[in-house]
Amino acid sequence: MPEAEAIKTEEALQAATFKTKAVLEQLAQGDVRSVWEKMWDSFKGDILHFGKIVLLAAVILIIAYFINKLIHKAFGKAAEKYALDVSLVSIINRVLTLIAMAFALLIILELLGINTASVLTVVGAAGLAVGLALKDTLSNIAAGIFLLTQHPYKTGDFVECAGMSGSILEIGLFTTKLRTPQGQDIFVPNNSIIAAPITNFSSNKQRRADITVGIDYGDNLEDGIKLLQAMMERHPLILKDPAPTVLVAELADSSVNLTLRFWTENDKYWDAYWDIQRNLKAEIEGAGLNIPFPQRVVTFANKAE
């Protein structure tokens, strides 16, 4: 270190030491007011500057909060107009909130004199590292975005996907939440869902049911068909168009199997299905026909001695 700089450093240390001793002596004498006045004179500019920054930061956060509220309100009206899925609306609202808060934070960092470009560079590098480490999670996010934008199902639909069946409760970025008919909640990774066929039982307003029943080979086939046809035509939950029909499905070992094929409103499907199933036996037997059970005919051959 040059001699001149060493002398300046020593003088600065001596001055700081002198001031510190003076402050300590005043504190020892109980002259707190003088100490406070000296500290205020020394740091007044810094304190006022920091106070202004804190006040501006608070104002920026409040403005960002209200702007975010206005954006959410406008987006809510648009979502209602275009009937967007509630899960998609929820996710977009969260993203909008994060964007608004991120802009507010960048402005505050600029006020503090922090180089935001370097901060963004560090965040970008960290994001890349995290992305490589969490590639499976990111694939779930990509799948979640696909499901929310392509709409293979929506909240409330009954679906079969990834080997699971249930009603859609929530479509998230990472998982889809299903509730089974037994009341169990299942969280299925979105990546597993788009990798397999999806069956949506609720997407159409109407749904077809097929119920098979057997009648005895000794019964009149036409009587059986007319009986079952009339049964479906008078049922209040079965649609007239498309018209119900009875088909000969199979000539089985012990019976002639007839299939009742009918359409009903989607939300009335199971009511109609179980009601037809319950009344089939009474209808068939009430008309003098029979529902056979499996039989085997055994023939014994006598061997000549």
Q: What is the CATH number of the domain that holds 277?
A: 3.30.70.100
Does 279 share its domain with 221? yes
The reply to whether 113 falls in a domain is yes
The reply to whether 42 falls in a domain is no
| This prediction's pTM | 0.57
Residues of the chain with pLDDT under 50: 1
Q: What is the CATH number of the domain that holds 188?
A: 2.30.30.60
pLDDT score of 46: 65
pLDDT score of 273: 96
Domain end among 200, 225, 249: 200
Does 181 share its domain with 247? no
Distance CA 267, CA 239 (A): 13
Cross-strand partners of 96: none
pLDDT per residue as tens digits for the range 106-147: 887 777 777 767 666 766 766 666 555 555 677 787 888 888
The reply to whether 1 falls in a domain is no
Does 223 share its domain with 272? yes
pLDDT score of 223: 93
pLDDT score of 122: 66
Does 170 share its domain with 191? yes
The reply to whether 210 falls in a domain is yes
The reply to whether 3 falls in a domain is no
pLDDT score of 249: 94
Does 191 share its domain with 212? no
pLDDT per residue as tens digits for the range 45-92: 666 767 777 888 888 888 888 888 888 888 888 777 776 667 667 777
- Hey, is 249 helix, strand or coil? strand
How many domains are contained in the chain?
A: 3
* Residue 217 lies in domain: 206-286
pLDDT score of 125: 66
